[in-house]
Amino acid sequence: MGRIDEVLETAVARGDVPGVVAMAADRQGVTYEGAAGKRVANADDPISPDTMLRIASMTKMVTTTAALQLYDRGSLDLDAAVETYRPEFADLRVLEAFEGDAPRLRPPASKATVRQLVTHTAGFGYWVWDRDLDRYEQVTGTPNILPGSNKAFTAPMLSDPGTRFEYGINVDWLGKVVEAVSGQPLDAYFRVNITGPLGMANTTARMTSDQRARSAPVHVRGEDGSWVPTDIDWAQEPEFWGGGHFLYSTPRDYVKFQRMLLGDGALKDVRILKEGTLEAAFTNQIGALDFPPLLTVHPDLSADVDLGPDLKWGLGLLLNRKQQPGMRAAGSGTWAGLFNTHFWVDPATGLTGSIFSQTLPFFDPPGIQVYADFERALYAAS
């Protein structure tokens, strides 16, 4: 695995990332863990597999797993209308156009289902990649999802349910559904049913003082191009736990979750999902729709995200239908977090990998190159 070490060390030396951690596992256990660089740029403390990180949208697959557990137990119907579990959902409308600065809204053509929340086809977007939603939030004073205000859930749909893949707050709504069905706050549900049983003691909604002391801050580039730590963080007293983003974790913790996904719902003798339930997660659930490029509206938060053609969405995972030379097999599932944390699960090869930094913007080309170089080095060594 020396080549992987070299990839990480070279990335830090080039200034592509201030610090980076990579993990890999097969069905027997962890096969690689490594790190390079600093926890805080220009400080002495190295980043490590036990460094606390904001995993952002890597939370989404945990929330999806919670919903699939409730489905396994017969408590949740994925094809039921969302308003069955969250009556306030029935009040939402579709943003059709603007008349001057006044948004024109209309009722949706159909009722969105829980499954459509899981597959990002319910119609909701993110301000980061949708100009109309960004404008709507500005002219109406509606907050985006990050400040932790429940007013974010008044944001409109951007298309009729089932007509388009639109990456957005769908899984935050799914978290609300999980809470309604389970009768538990989302953080407690995770702790009792997923992260606790998997031994993920450092995966949490809010860091302790000890965990914060070994956390990595989010970094941005300064005027001279060097990495500068910031105080960017999740809201510490939110009105809701955002199923799309709220978790902190460590690379060593999250690989346990990845191994559960690779193990068809089980990690060793701990079963989280019934055998076979995860087959749907790795199967196209959006039909003829495709995963589109995400074109940025806020370059400080994200670069353009264009992952190429022929991509589908399962339940919580982006699926590649073709294999690139020396990389994950077709049918692998993947997702990522805003601060440049990434994971994939490759059932055909029996391998899962992840790579973590804490930087903005998301999908910064040098950082994405490190991800690709790590993946190729991992498969070459496996």
Q: Please identify every residue annotated as catalytic.
A: 57, 60, 167
3-state helix, strand, coil in the chain (%, to 5): 30, 20, 50
Q: Tally Cβ neighbours within 10 Å of residue 182.
A: 20
DSSP state of 292: P
- What Rg, from alpha-carbon coordinates, does the chain have? 20
> E strands within the chain?
19-26, 30-37, 53-54, 94-99, 102-106, 219-221, 227-229, 248-249, 266-267, 270-271, 311-313, 318-320, 333-337, 341-346, 351-356
Q: Left if phi > 0, otherwise alpha if psi is -120 to 50, otherwise beta: which for 93?
A: beta
How far apart (Å, rounded) are the C-alpha atoms in residues 351 and 212?
31
Type and span of the H or E element at 341: strand 341-346
Say whether the peptide bond before residue 361 is cis (omega within 30 degrees of 0): yes
